[in-house]
Amino acid sequence: MKHWKKLLGGALGLALLSGGSAMAQEKWWPIKVFDATSGKNVPVEYSPLPKAAKPWKICVLFPHMKDSFWVAVAYGIVEEAKRMGVNMTLYEAGGYENLPKQLSQFDDCMASGFDAIVVGAISEAGLSQKFKEGIAKGKPVISTVNPVAKAETTAKMFVEFDTMGKQTGDYLVQNLKGKGAQVVTFPGPAGSGWAESFNDGFKAAIKGTKVKLLDEKFGDSGVAVQLKLVQDALQTYPDINVIWGTAPTAEAAIGAVAEVGRNDIMIMSSYENQAMLDALNKGEILGFATQYPVLEGRVAIDMAVRALEKKPLMKYVKPIPDMVAKSNQSKINMGLVLAPASWKPVYSVTAK
């Protein structure tokens, strides 16, 4: 078994990562991740810099803030900016259909004197040229959460979404215990990259099993859009007994299946948000996968500071995802999964 390595230049010491405690929220490191810089998943322990050398100005771009998943990433961004003593301004585009707005926001970041840009890209292909332009002008570009496979970045952190999709598919098959099922998938926005990867992983898990894929319905990851897709599927496929998709899909499906008296339908989420945790606790869903979005926000800020200060930098980091179900929920550090329920989004941080 390989020894866990510690990133040079990081803060020292171990922390007890018990979800929800003040200590866990403040000292979240060291955390096990994969360093994929070499092209292979090398297990390491990641620790951030103790503090930034100066109050850098960091611009952050998100696809939207319509659900608690991106709120969780924002929480990680905000808390790490505060801890490290840097300035941060966050802009959100309002949805995956708003690529032109995110491109315009990137230009605004470039023109407004920010030192580095952190991006949750709506589209890798759409942002690729902007990334290149930013880096050419000496601005570190850090990609977080959404996959960026080929576009030039200073550093990036994202999970292998097909792995998360496969985790949920494997769990479904195990839960069925050899029985058959009829499933419609709701992966998310077509062309986003992550939606297709989640879906591919899920399909790989059910291949060769008694789980039959009836249809794949792509759409924006807002609850309203997903609700319409779910309602259409319930009408079109009367034999459906599994709904698998985004967290907003599952959130919409809970009410939709109850409305048509189909409480026999199993619901699974490919990723996490606050509604999924609540639904799991109520027994309304089988479970969900987590990529630790709060962690991804925190690491993105540390990556930006490391790049600006020419400190040791992992150029490609992958969170190690987990499946969250009733059986293991107590073992998961929820402080790196979701923002506290009482936390309200903050769009700027002023260094003190």
pLDDT tens for 273-325 read 888 999 999 999 999 999 999 999 999 999 999 999 999 999 999 999 888 98
Q: Which pLDDT belongs to residue 276?
A: 93
Q: Which two tokens stand for residue 238?
A: 């009367």
Lowest mean pLDDT among 17-21, 245-249, 259-263, 348-352: 17-21
Contact call for residues 158 and 191 (beta carbons, < 8 A): no
Residue 17: how many other CB atoms lie within 10 Å = 17
- The yes-or-no verdict on residue 6 having pLDDT over 80 is no
Whether the per-residue pLDDT at 23 is higher than 70: the answer is no
At 309, list the tokens.
């200060």
pLDDT at position 230: 98
The set of residues, in sequence order, having a beta carbon less than 8 Å from that of 138 and lying 6+ positions away, is none
Residue 236 has pLDDT above 90, yes or no: yes
Residue 155: strand pairing partners:
142
pLDDT, tens digit (0-9, with 9 covering 90-100), for 246-273: 999 999 999 999 999 998 999 999 999 8
Q: Are 227 and 252 in contact (CB under 8 A)?
A: yes
Q: Is residue 3 pLDDT above 50, yes or no?
A: no
Give dist(CA 24, CA 15) in Å, integer.
7
User: Crossing angle of helices 293-308/68-84, nearest 10°?
Assistant: 40
User: Model pTM?
Assistant: 0.80
* Tokens 């990433």 -> residue: 73
Helices (H), the chain: 22-26, 68-84, 99-111, 124-136, 161-176, 194-206, 223-236, 247-259, 274-282, 293-308
Q: What is the mean pLDDT of the chain?
A: 91
Residues 26-81: tens digit of each pLDDT: 789 999 999 999 999 999 999 999 999 999 999 999 999 988 889 999 999 999 99
Burial of 3 (0-12, 13-18, 19+ CB in 10 A): exposed
Q: Given this model, what pLDDT does residue 327 score?
A: 82
What domains, with CATH codes, occur in the chain?
5-159+292-349 (3.40.50.2300), 161-290 (3.40.50.2300)
The residue with tokens 């989004």 is 345
In angstroms, the CA 66 to CA 53 distance is 34
What tokens appear for 22 in the block? 């003040």
DSSP class per residue in 109-178: HHHTT-SEEEE--S-HHHHHHHHHHHHHTT--EEEESS--SSS--SEEE---HHHHHHHHHHHHHHHHTT
pLDDT of 221: 87
pLDDT computed for residue 160 by the predictor = 87
Share of the chain above pLDDT 70, in %: 93
Query: Each residue of 153-190: pLDDT tens digit?
Result: 999 999 988 999 999 999 999 999 999 999 999 999 99
Sign of CA dihedral 38, 42, 44, 47: positive
